Amino acid sequence: MEKIAPNNPDEIIVIGGGVIGLACAHYLSVDGKPVRVIERETVGSGASHGNCGLIFISHLLPLCAPGVIRHELIRIFRRGSPLYVKPSPNLFRLAWLLRFAAKCNPQHLEHAVRARASILQYSDALYQELFEPEGIDGEHERKGVLLVFRSGSDMERYGQTLAGLERFGIEAKAFRGAALTDLEPSLRGDLYGGWHHSHDSHLRPDAFIREWKNLLVRNGVQFEENCIFQRFVSSRPESVTLQTDRGVFTADACVIAAGAWSPQLIRGLAVRLPMQPGKGYSITFANSLGCPKIPCIFEERSVVATPFRNGCRLGGTMEFSGHGTHLVKKRLENLRKAAGEYLRDPPAEPVAEQWAGLRPIMFDDLPVIDRVPDRPNLYVATGHGMMGVSLAPATGRIIADLVAGRDPQIDISPFGLQRFR
C-alpha cells in the first residue's frame, strides 16, 4: 500500500468523507485553514450516498416522541413495519433502546424540537449561500415535501401536531381528496390527503457530494481516499498525531466525522458516544416514470419517494442489526409494496441501484457537535440520524467556529458531549 509523505502539521484533519465531513472541510477551508479529509473508502460511500436527499427543515419532531413505542409495536404486529430490531444479546443495543424509550416523553420532545428548529433553520440559511454562489447544483430543487396519508385520523392528528410547531414558523397546507391528486397527479385517488410543507427542498445526494468534493479540491482541500484511520497516537494542546494504514499524520486539530463508525474511532478517549447504526434501504430507478414531481413521504409506511432529474428513489426502513450493509430482499420489497399503496403507477424498471446505508443515531435523536473534553484539538461531528443532509452546513460551520475559537451563532449546548456523562 502506498504510504503518504509527511503532511503539513498546521493542517486540520477531518476523518470521514461523508456529507458531514465535507461540510466541516468546507467551512474550515473558508476560514483559510489547510484541510485534509481521510476516508476509508471513497468520498460519499457511506450513508451520504443512497439517502433520500431531503433538506427537510420542517422536520422538527425527533424519533423519540411520546407514544412512539406503542405506535411502532402496533405496526410490527400489523406487519410491513419499517422498524426491525434484530433479536440478539447485544447489551449496547439493549441499553441504547432503553435510553431511547426513556426519552419518549413530553419534556424531551419540547427540548429536541427547540434544538432542531434552531439548527435546521441555521442550516437552511447556509444552504442558500452554498448552491448558486458556490456554483453547486446537486439537482437541488425547492418543491417542498408532501406528507401523504391513507388514514384520515393520522392526517388530522398531524394537523394538531403542526399547530404546536407554528411558533417555530413551520407551516403546511392541507390537501384532501381530489385536491391531493390535483397537486400531485402520480398519487392514487383513494388516499385521504396530504400536508404540503412548501418551504422544504431536495437534492440528488451522489451528484451533490461529487460537486461539493470538486469544489473543495479546487479550494485546496486534500483528500486521502482508501486510507483507514486506526488510532490516535497522541493529542497534545499544540498538535494531534494519528495512525492510519498509510502512515502517520500530525495536525493542528482533528474532526471525527465518521458517521455510524464514529464510536469505534473514539475508543480510548474516555468519551461516550451512545450511538446505534440505523440501517436504511433505497432503490433508485433509472427514469422518472410513475414518480411524484414533489418529494413525498408515505406516512403510514415511512417511505420516501424523491424525484431526480433523470430517475427516482424510494427509501426508508429502520433496521437495528449492527454495522452490516448487506441487502435483505424482503425490506427492498417492502419499499416497492409501500409505493404501490400510494402511487397510481409506481416506478418499476429499470433499477439503477439497490442500496443500504447506516444512519448514525443517538438515543436522544440530536447530533453531537462538540470539542472532546480535555482534548483541546479534537472535535466530534456526528450522530445526525435521519437528518445528516439537512444539518450538514450548520454542523460544518459550528465546527469551524469552535476550531477558530469563535462563538457559534446558535446555542449548541443541546449537541454537547456532556449530555452522555
Ligand X SMILES: Cc1cc2nc3c(=O)[nH]c(=O)nc-3n(C[C@H](O)[C@H](O)[C@H](O)COP(=O)(O)OP(=O)(O)OC[C@H]3O[C@@H](n4cnc5c(N)ncnc54)[C@H](O)[C@@H]3O)c2cc1C
> Given the rule CB under 6 A, which residues bind ligand X?
15-21, 38-41, 45-48, 51-54, 56, 228-229, 257-261, 265, 280-282, 315, 357, 359-360, 382, 384-390
* Cβ 278 vs Cβ 357: under 8 Å: no
Q: Which is nearer to ligand X, 176 or 246 (CB)?
A: 246
Find the shortest distance in angstroms from Cβ 156 to ligand X. 25
Orientation of helix 388-404 relative to helix 106-134, angle to 10°: 80
Is residue 234 helix, strand or coil?
A: strand
Distance CA 62, CA 43 (A): 28
Grid cell in block for residue 126: 447556509
Query: Of 330, 323, 335, nearest to 361 (Cα)?
Result: 323
CB-nearer residue toward ligand X: 45 or 181: 45
As measured in angstroms, the least distance from the Cβ of 326 to ligand X is 14
Supply the minimum distance, in Å, between the C-beta of residue 272 and ligand X: 18
H/E stretch holding 354 reads strand 351-362
Taking the complex as a whole, how short is the minimal distance between the CB of residue 313 and ligand X, in angstroms? 9
Nearer to ligand X, 46 or 346 (CB): 46
Of the candidates 389, 392, 263, the residue with the CA atom closest to the CA atom of residue 315: 389
Q: What is the distance between the alpha carbons of residues 243 and 269, in angstroms, rounded to a whole number? A: 15
Three cell numbers written together for 108? 424531551
| Closer of 21 and 414 to ligand X (Cβ) | 21
Q: How far is the CB of 298 from ligand X (least distance, A)?
A: 14
**Cβ(347)–Cβ(240) below 8 Å:** no
**Bridging pattern class, strands 253-256 and 12-15:** parallel
Provide, rounded to whole angstroms, the least separation between the CB of residue 164 and ligand X. Answer: 22
The Cα–Cα gap between 37 and 217 comes to: 11
Residue 80: CB partners within 8 Å, gap ≥ 6?
301, 334, 337, 338
Q: By C-beta, is 93 or 176 nearer to ligand X? A: 93
Q: State in angstroms the smallest separation of the CB of 153 from ligand X.
A: 26
Q: Which of residues 127 and 281 has its CB atom nearest to ligand X in the complex?
A: 281
- The C-alpha angle with vertex 332 and arms to 330 and 337, in degrees rounded to 5, equals 85
HSE-CB for 308 with a 13 A CA cutoff: 24
| Cβ closest to ligand X, residue 47 vs residue 172 | 47
Smallest gap, in angstroms, from Cβ of residue 384 to ligand X?
A: 4
Min separation Cβ 111 and ligand X, Å: 20
17 or 347, CB closer to ligand X?
A: 17
The DSSP output letter for 339 is: H
Contacts of 239 (CB under 8 A, 6+ apart): 9, 250, 251, 252, 377
Q: Least distance from C-beta 259 to ligand X, angstroms? A: 2
Shortest CA distance to 334 belongs to which of 148, 141, 147, 75? 75
Nearer to ligand X, 315 or 414 (CB): 315
Measured from the CB atom, is 113 or 260 closer to ligand X? 260
Helix (H) or strand (E) holding 122, with range, is helix 106-134
Which residue type does 274 have? Answer: P
